[in-house]
Structure 1
Amino acid sequence: MIPVQLISALIVACGCSALADAMQANFSLDNDIQSSFLQRRLKSQERREMQREILSILGLPHRPRPLLQERHTAAPMFMLDLYNNAILEDSYKPAYTTPGPPMVTQQDSRFLSDADMVMSFVNLGDLDEDLRLYHQHHREFRFDLSRIPAGETVTAAELRIYKDFVHERYENETFRVSVFQVLQQQPKRELYLLDSQVVWAAEEGWLVFDLTVTTNHWVINPGQNLGLQLSLETAYGERLNPRRAGLVGSTGPRNKQPFMVAFLKASGIHLRSVRSASGNKQRGPHRSKNPKPGVAPSQVALKTAEAAEVSSVDPKQGCKKHELYVSFRDLGWQDWIIAPEGYAAYYCEGECVFPLNSYMNATNHAIVQTLVHFINPETVPKPCCAPTQLHGISVLYFDDSSNVILKKYRNMVVRACGCH
């Protein structure tokens, strides 16, 4: 059975010697990034422990089980374009492509760079066809924002509606498309104008309406989330069915259906604590001038010089970065994680012994600690080979409500190792 503590250490890739031995016993170090990171099939208990620990690192209370896994509808395609933008920021090349032109604008890219998480929401306010004929001059939208995690602030929110080219008698006209917040349903409906745009009938593409202020209000006061209403008028004030102007509804082509997207940023950052494998470094007494009682400074220098002659480390055995690929597919999560299928986490392993050569990227403290270890090895341990530079990854996945979430996770990939 693989201990939970080991799995946690694997993900953050902290590699002291005991951890490295366990990793070599349980994990393959294949250079092929698409290969499995497991040498053998997981036992069911091991799989459950790994899933539980990785879900905890991802900040999820349980494994999502979305009812719908449509990846070629408008919201997942837009989110996949955002994902490609996110991994480009991390200097990775896009591994996933979407059909048609990119849906992400420059403004969306700016929103993304400032966000920790992005969530898309499907419209729950569709009317059936009979009621749609009754409400022919407007369209209803309702989005469940209860999935937004506590502590997250909406930095930007958008309603995105696709407009097709109009071939009818309105072809050379303009329309005003307005989006209202529903303030009251009964006894008489009250509306508040949020955003409006003037579009040409011949225009084609995504219309984007700003919902930032309203979304934050709904997050704080969920009982006041009564939905949105979209209305359309000609230049002469004539009200039209939005379908007549080419506005695609939720019964239209899957890749053109309307959706809402919110960019979120944590108002208070709570980092998962990871116990350092070298937490006992400072248990020994301070010995700044004479590390061992009864040993003169000249004897210390002689002992250090002798140690340097016999303890030179082969660069192949010194502290450095090693291959480690974590596969979400091997965990059976391909039904809810859209991208990536896995990621190269890497880990640090190797000797940190005197003398610490330049390729070991040692801190000044590690150099001093190494010297003291040779003088008094019973009291002061050797430095630990550990990450000196960590980068994040972005994960795109469905939640239980089939909303699509793009989240950035810090400190998941080792970029450099050194002696600490």
Structure 2
Amino acid sequence: MKNRRLRNHERREIQREILSILGLPHRPRPFSPGKQASSAPLFMLDLYNAMANEENPDETEYSVRASLAGETRGGRKGYPASPNGYPRGIQLSRTAPLTTQSPPLASLHDTNFLNDADMVMSFVNLVERDKDFSHQRRHYKEFRFDLTQIPHGEAVTAAEFRIYKDRSNSRFENETIKISIYQIIKEYTNRDADLFLLDTRKAEALDVGWLVFDITVTSNHWVINPQNNLGLQLCAETGDGRSINVKSAGLVGRHGPQSKQPFMVAFFKASEVLLRSVRAANKRKNQNRNKSSSHQDSSRVSSVGDYNTSEQKQACKKHELYVSFRDLGWQDWIIAPEGYAAFYCDGECSFPLNAHMNATNHAIVQTLVHLMFPDHVPKPCCAPTKLNAISVLYFDDSSNVILKKYRNMVVRSCGCH
């Protein structure tokens, strides 16, 4: 089949349909990313690789290492541009509060969260303030994350706050430092805020790597009550309870490298109510499509003579079909993949139905009845018998990175139904 360029109205219609399948009301328009890849997208790329490897173990993965080196292959600098780029095995760190990789690679703990999640979302820090030490106050940093972009009906199954720790100041060389993360409950102008302790980690002064804090309960609370999202507070103390400057403790803030910036990541699962509404919407959509095509089908009434000509036609099988996000002009917001092999089913379901046609018992009976009553009973249809999911990694309007699993997107096998 000869390829042709899509007309503008065809491109718009395809874009609209695919956005609808992806559950997006419109095309995201994120801020332009910087030249150096930042920590949140790099972490999400690792999760994407883990998820893609699970779905398609033979597929080549994206290379985070190549993106860190600033290599480009037809895409944005600092982000991998081709799924067939630089092969790299998934590197999983040990399940521990302090991981030692930079950029932050997904741990076994994180990949376990993927099994229960339909969507993963990272959030960039919106506000960060360093407080000066005084006798009444303590050192701390504040972090805020915008959770208002989370789709309705998604429940948080796990959430983490991640911050990178370099070596602490030399004067704390022999100290064990306690780092605590708090939810801000209420703020005051003349005194410290009311806080709720969420999680604590201990690290030696010479430790280097990512500190991971569990903030699942707070994240769920913020999703349900966004007006209560006043952010997080992080503080560091010595073993004897002395408050120390967070920067002196080695914790990297906004002035550190992009690949070591603090961020939040949350794992989500769609509620049953949402799943039922999506299934109902898809059912209505398919019914409308079937109605529009019924006129065309009725004009192609089969006859017994069809079987003489159908022998020359191809039997029901899987055919190549590639959907390119780049051709749709979406490379500025879809990080991975560039596209995917969707495939489609086509061909004749004619008597006799061979074993390789994966025919159902119903299709076999329908074929026999069609032989006797060709004007009243149509032939079985060639349709998918097995479908696979794909994972898509993309920016939203706020430049948060989202990893979402979409089921039933790739045809694995075809058969007569």
1:329 to 299, 323, 326: 326
- CA shift in 2, pair 1:185/1:167, >3 Å: closer
- CA shift in 2, pair 1:244/1:344, >3 Å: same
**Shift of residue 374, structure 1, vs aligned partner:** 1.4
- CA shift in 2, pair 1:101/1:122, >3 Å: closer
1:376 to 361, 373, 376: 373
Partner of 2:13: 49
Query: Which runs of structure 2 are paired with 1:288-327 in the superposition (5 Å)?
Result: 310=308, 313=311, 317-327=314-324
2:220 is the counterpart of 1:216: yes
Q: Aligned partners of 1:341, 1:232: CA distance in 2, in Å? A: 43
**Shift of residue 172, structure 1, vs aligned partner:** 2.3
Q: Aligned partners of 2:133, 2:11: CA distance in 1, in Å? A: 52
Q: Aligned partners of 2:290, 2:161: CA distance in 1, in Å? A: 50
Query: Which runs of structure 2 are paired with 1:126-145 in the superposition (5 Å)?
Result: 126-127=128-129, 137-145=139-147
Range moving further from structure 2, 328-337 or 62-71? 62-71
Q: Aligned partners of 2:383, 2:392: CA distance in 1, in Å? A: 25
**Residues 373 and 380 of structure 1 are in contact (CA less than 8 Å); yes or no, is this contact kept in structure 2?**
yes
Q: Aligned partners of 1:68, 1:242: CA distance in 2, in Å? A: 30
**Residues 69 and 335 of structure 1 are in contact (CA less than 8 Å); yes or no, is this contact kept in structure 2?**
no
Partner of 2:396: 399
Q: Aligned partners of 2:387, 2:354: CA distance in 1, in Å? A: 22
Q: Aligned partners of 1:379, 1:309: CA distance in 2, in Å? A: 16
Partner of 1:154: 156
Query: Which runs of structure 2 are paired with 1:17-416 in the superposition (5 Å)?
Result: 39-70=3-34, 72-92=37-57, 93-99=59-65, 100=102, 103-127=105-129, 137-166=139-168, 168-186=170-188, 188=191, 189-268=193-272, 269=275, 270-271=278-279, 272-273=282-283, 275=286, 310=308, 313=311, 317-416=314-413
Q: CA RMSD in A?
A: 2.5
Percent identical pairs in the alignment equals: 61
The count of aligned residue pairs is 359
**Deviation by residue 1:10-53 (Cα, 9 ceiling, x = unmatched):** xxxxxxxxxxxxxx5xxx6xxxxxxxxxx222221111111111
What runs of 5+ residues in structure 1 fail to find an aligned partner? 1-23, 29-38, 281-305
**Residues 120 and 403 of structure 1 are in contact (CA less than 8 Å); yes or no, is this contact kept in structure 2?**
yes
**Shift of residue 309, structure 1, vs aligned partner:** 8.9
Q: Aligned partners of 1:101, 1:124: CA distance in 2, in Å? A: 21
Larger Rg: 1
**Shift of residue 307, structure 1, vs aligned partner:** 8.2
> What amino acid does structure 2 have at the position aligned with 1:108?
D
> What amino acid does structure 2 have at the position aligned with 1:55?
L
- CA shift in 2, pair 1:309/1:405, >3 Å: closer
**Shift of residue 165, structure 1, vs aligned partner:** 2.0
**Shift of residue 278, structure 1, vs aligned partner:** 7.2
- CA shift in 2, pair 1:311/1:375, >3 Å: farther
Q: Aligned partners of 1:162, 1:44: CA distance in 2, in Å? A: 46
**Residues 137 and 241 of structure 1 are in contact (CA less than 8 Å); yes or no, is this contact kept in structure 2?**
yes
**Shift of residue 84, structure 1, vs aligned partner:** 0.1
Q: Aligned partners of 1:132, 1:266: CA distance in 2, in Å? A: 43
**Shift of residue 133, structure 1, vs aligned partner:** 7.9
1:368 is paired with a residue whose SS is helix
**Shift of residue 373, structure 1, vs aligned partner:** 1.0
> What amino acid does structure 2 have at the position aligned with 1:96?
Y
- CA shift in 2, pair 1:259/1:311, >3 Å: same
Relative contact order higher in (CA < 8 Å, ≥ 6 apart): 1
2:168 is paired with a residue whose SS is coil
Partner of 1:15: none
Range moving further from structure 2, 186-195 or 213-222? 186-195
**Shift of residue 359, structure 1, vs aligned partner:** 1.2
**Shift of residue 308, structure 1, vs aligned partner:** 11
Give the structure-2-normalised TM-score: 0.81
What runs of 5+ residues in structure 2 fail to find an aligned partner? 66-101, 293-303
1:379 is paired with a residue whose SS is coil
**Shift of residue 69, structure 1, vs aligned partner:** 2.6
1:87 is paired with a residue whose SS is helix
**Deviation by residue 1:162-190 (Cα, 9 ceiling, x = unmatched):** 00123512122110000111111025421
Q: Aligned partners of 1:265, 1:309: CA distance in 2, in Å? A: 49
Give the structure-1-normalised TM-score: 0.80
